[in-house]
Amino acid sequence: MAKRKLKPKDLLWTALVVFIFFAAAELLSRLVVQIIVSRHYPQTQSGFRHGDQTLEYDPELGWTVDGMEKLGPELPDGEAVPSDLQHKAEGTFRIFIIGDSVAYGVGVPGSRTFGALVAQGLEQRDPDRSYEVLNAAVPGYNLTQMAARLERDVLPNSPDLVIVCAGPFDAEQGQFEGLTERSHSGETVRRLQSVLFHSRLYYLLSLAVVKARHEITDSEFRTKASPLETIDAMLADADVPHVFVAPVEVKQDRSTFMMHIHQWYSSSGLAWVDIYPALQSALDQQGFEAVFIDYEHFNEQGHRIVAEQILQYLDGPGSAMLGGGKP
C-alpha cells in the first residue's frame, strides 16, 4: 500500500494542533504553578520580595537574585555593585559566600554583612593583596539550591575560597536530598533556556528534571550521609578551599540556641567556624535585640560577631586557605 504523501496543508494543521496543545499546556501549567507550586514556593514568582530583596524566577534553581553582587566596606550603605565574573583582576583573591537569607544579609546593608566585614578585615591585615567578596547567597534557598548555585554560578568563576553558611537539615525529604554532579549546559541549551525563561510549562518540566538530578542516590557522592557533605565533596573535587559556618536557631525564650546544628557540625569532620560561643556570650550579656533581627537573622552587630569569628579562623586553623592551599 502506497504511503500517503503529506501535503503542506496537512503540515500546517499538524503544526496548529501542536501549537494549540502546548498553548493549553502552558495555560494549565501557569494555573498549577500559581495555585499549587507558588503556595509552597512563592519565590518562584518573579518580583516576589523576601525582606528587602526582590527575587526573580530562575528555570533551573526556582528563583534567584538579580546578578552576583560584590560586597565591600567601601560601598555606600544599602548598595551592592555587580561584579564582572568573567574577568578576575590579576592578584585578586576571590571569595564567594554561599547560603540563604542569613548569609545574604536580609535586613542589613550590604556593606555591613559578615561577608563585607571579612573583606575589610582581610584587607586591613594584608593591604598588599586585593580581596573580592561576592555574595552568591539567595534568600529562601535550601541545600539543593545552594549546591546547584555553587556548581552553576560559583565554581566556573575562579573562586579562591568559598564560605558556606548552611545548616545540615535544610533539605526536604525526597526532593531535596543532595545534588548529582552533572555536566554544564552547552551554549545552545543556555540560549534555548533563555527563550523559554518565562514559560511555566518549562518550569514544571525543569522541576522534574532538577528533582531527578538531585537524587543523591544517583550521585558519585552517594556515600555522603548529608547534603552538606555532598557540597563539601563537590568543593574538594574542584580543589577549592572552603569552610562552613553553622547558622543558629534561637529558642523562643530568646536566651539560648538550639544546639542540634552545633552538635552535628562538631561530629561532622568538616572544616567549620564555631560562632556559637561568641554569639551566646553577646546574647547573655546584651540580650536578643542586640544581636538578632528575628529568631534566625543577625542584625549588624550579629554580622560583626560572625565576621570576627571567621577572621579568627582564617588567622588560625584555616590560614592555609588564604594561601590557595587546603588546610
| pLDDT band (50, 70, 90) for residue 90 | confident
Computed over every residue of the chain, the mean pLDDT equals 78
122: exposed, middle or buried (Cβ count in 10 Å: 0-12, 13-18, 19+): buried
Q: Which of 61-65, 99-103, 122-126, 218-222 has the lowest mean pLDDT?
A: 218-222
Q: Is residue 34 part of a domain?
A: no
Amino acid residing at 295: Y
For residue 3, being part of any structural domain is answered with no
What is the total count of domains within the chain?
1
pLDDT of 93 higher than 90:
yes
pLDDT for residue 274: 94
- Residue 15 inside a domain? The answer is no
Q: In terms of pLDDT, which residue wins out, 37 or 214?
A: 37
Q: How many CB atoms lie under 10 A from the CB of residue 12?
A: 10
Please tell me the distance from the alpha carbon of residue 112 to that of residue 115, in angstroms, as a whole number: 8
Residue range 185-190: average pLDDT?
A: 59
Q: Can you tell me the distance from the alpha carbon of 250 to that of 258, in angstroms, rounded to the nearest whole number?
A: 6
pLDDT confidence band for 41 (50 / 70 / 90): low
* Strand (E) or helix (H) holding 131: strand 130-135
pLDDT bin (cut points 50, 70, 90) of residue 258 is confident
Residue 100 pLDDT more than 60?
A: yes
Position 30 in a domain: no
Q: Are 310 and 245 in contact (CB under 8 A)?
A: yes
Gap between the Cα atoms of 197 and 193, Å rounded: 6
- Estimate the share of the chain in helix, then strand, then coil, as percent rounded to the nearest 5: 45, 15, 40
Taking the alpha carbons of 176, 180, 186, 189 in that order, is the dihedral positive or negative? negative
Q: How far apart are CA 186 and CA 319, in angstroms?
A: 37
Q: Which range among 27-36, 216-225, 231-240 shows the weakest confidence by mean pLDDT?
A: 216-225
- Counted residue by residue, the chain has a size of 327
Instruction: Specify which residues 242 forms β-bridges with.
Output: 162
Number of neighbouring beta carbons within 10 Å of residue 129: 12
Neighbours of 174 (CB within 10 A): 9
Instruction: Mean pLDDT check: name the lowest of 49-63, 73-87, 125-139.
Output: 73-87
Q: Which residue carries 528555570 as its cell? A: 59
Between β-strands 53-54 and 81-82, what pairing exists: parallel, antiparallel or unpaired?
A: unpaired
Instruction: Give the residue among 113, 179, 119, 188 at the shortest CA–CA distance from 151.
Output: 179
Region 205-224: what's the mean pLDDT? 49
Residue 187 lies in a domain: yes
Find out whether 93 and 161 touch, Cβ atoms under 8 Å: yes
- Give residue 221's pLDDT: 42
Per-residue pLDDT band for 168 (boundaries 50, 70, 90) equals: confident
Non-local CB neighbours of 146 within 8 Å, separated by 6+ positions:
98, 99, 100, 164, 166, 231
* 240 SS3 class: coil
Neighbours of 159 (CB within 10 A): 23
pLDDT per position as a tens digit, 267-299: 999 999 999 999 999 999 999 999 999 988 999
Residues 103-119: pLDDT tens digits? Answer: 999 888 888 899 999 99
Q: Is residue 5 part of a domain?
A: no
For residue 147, name the pLDDT band (cuts at 50, 70, 90).
Answer: confident
Q: With 70 as the cut, is the pLDDT of residue 162 above it? A: yes
CATH code: domain of residue 140: 3.40.50.1110
Provide the residue range defining the domain that includes 288: 49-73+82-323
- Structure-model confidence comparison of residues 315 and 141, the more confident one: 315
Cα–Cα distance between 283 and 94 in angstroms, integer?
32
Q: Which residue, 109, 41, 42, is CA-closest to 69?
A: 109
Distance CA 117, CA 213 (A): 36
For residue 44, being part of any structural domain is answered with no
pLDDT at 191 over 80: no
Round to whole Å and give the CA distance between 68 and 48.
18
Residue 222 lies in a domain: yes
